[in-house]
């Protein structure tokens, strides 16, 4: 398996523009997580899905952020409108509820977002 | 969610054993202890998890005393490639892995 795939790897945009980040989880995984990492706040969980259903979105900073998972192999994180404070590395991770992988999440390479 | 405390940074040399201790005084009965490793410009990577006593895999060992209020990640014979940030997490199940600031390990020649 290729692991978790994220696109784009880098995104530079201007304030006010819409940004869409994409994630393809590992095949067979039933959990998908979106994280954001900044120097100031570290690594934060934004939202996670189980079997394509959002379970907890309490980490989503505000209404400008939305996430969808239309099927088991694809998820998007959208920011509209984007602001400079949204600049961060966004990670997608997936996992499978197995007896020996209780807390093991597999992270993608991340998308580095810069909002000017 | 149990809060964890670990050193901000550690230095070591190639070939040495490195022990990173994490304290989690408020760990709950159902909490597991998990360690992740993160290299620059990469996502975190699972290293090891445990509930009590000792767990060992091909990468590291995890020591957990009986009271479970702390845990120690042991990396045997580190190399330059072990330079990374190491995160200690305690949580129940898959919900909300809370990453703290982690420990920055620098391995020198």
At A26-72, the pLDDT tens digits run 999 999 999 999 999 899 999 999 999 999 999 998 899 999 999 99
Q: Which of A35, A37, A98, A103 to mutate to test the interface with B (most CBs of B within 10 A)?
A: A103
For residue B80, the SS3 value is: helix
Please say whether the beta carbons of B34 and B46 come within 8 A: yes
Q: Which of A94-103, B28-37, B94-103 has the lowest mean pLDDT?
A: A94-103
Per-residue pLDDT band at A97 (split at 50, 70, 90)? confident
pLDDT attached to residue A36 = 96
Residue B9 has pLDDT above 90, yes or no: yes
Residue B23: closest CA among B85, B76, B89:
B89
Distance to chain A for B84, nearest Cα, Å? 15
Write the CB contacts of A70 (distance below 8 Å, at least 6 apart in sequence): A52
- Return the structure tokens found at B63: 């020591």
Mean pLDDT of chain A: 93
For residues B2-29, give the mean pLDDT. Answer: 92
Residue A98 has pLDDT above 90, yes or no: no
Neighbours of A114 (CB within 10 A): 14
Residue B5: closest CA among B105, B108, B109, B102:
B102
Write the CB contacts of A100 (distance below 8 Å, at least 6 apart in sequence): none
Residue A101 has pLDDT above 60, yes or no: no
Q: Is B96 on the interface with A (CB under 8 A)?
A: yes
pLDDT attached to residue A71 = 95
The CA–CA distances, whole Å, from A15 to A12, A57, B27, B94 equal 10, 24, 42, 34
SS3 assignment for chain A: CCCCEEECCEEEECCCCCEEEEEECCCCCCEEEEEEEECCCEEEEEEEEECCEEEECCCCCCCCEEEEEEECCEEEEEECCCCHHHCEEEEEEEECCCCCCCCCCEECCCEEEEEC
Please give the residue that has the higher pLDDT: either B98 or A26: A26
| Rounded Cα gap, residues A54 and A59, in angstroms | 12
Q: Which of A43-52, B7-16, B96-105 has the lowest mean pLDDT?
A: B96-105
Cβ contacts below 8 Å, chain A against chain B, sum to 57
pLDDT attached to residue B95 = 60
Q: Which of B38, B41, B94, B101 to mutate to test the interface with A (most CBs of A within 10 A)?
A: B94
For residues A97-106, give the mean pLDDT. Answer: 69
């Amino acid at each position: 398996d290729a692991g978790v795939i994220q696109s784009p790897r880098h995104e530079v945009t201007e304030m006010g523009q819409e940004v869409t980040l994409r994630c393809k989880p590992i095949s067979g995984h039933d959990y998908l997580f979106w994280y954001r990492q900044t120097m100031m706040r570290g690594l934060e969980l934004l939202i996670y899905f189980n079997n394509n259903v959002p379970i907890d979105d309490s980490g989503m900073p505000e209404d400008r952020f939305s996430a969808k998972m239309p099927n088991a192999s694809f998820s998007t994180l959208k920011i509209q409108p984007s602001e400079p404070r949204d600049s961060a590395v966004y990670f997608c991770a997936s996992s499978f509820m197995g007896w020996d992988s209780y807390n093991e999440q597999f992270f993608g390479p991340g998308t580095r977002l810069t909002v000017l | 969610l149990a809060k964890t405390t670990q050193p901000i940074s550690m230095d070591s040399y190639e070939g040495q054993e490195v022990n990173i201790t994490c304290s989690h005084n408020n760990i709950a009965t159902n909490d597991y202890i998990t360690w992740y490793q993160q290299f620059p410009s990469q996502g975190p990577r699972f290293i090891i998890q445990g509930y009590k006593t000792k767990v060992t895999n091909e990468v590291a060992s995890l020591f957990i005393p009986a009271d479970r209020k702390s845990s120690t990640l042991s990396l045997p014979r580190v190399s330059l490639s072990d330079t990374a940030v190491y995160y200690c997490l305690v949580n129940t199940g898959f919900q909300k892995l809370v990453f703290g600031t982690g420990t920055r390990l620098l391995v020198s020649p």
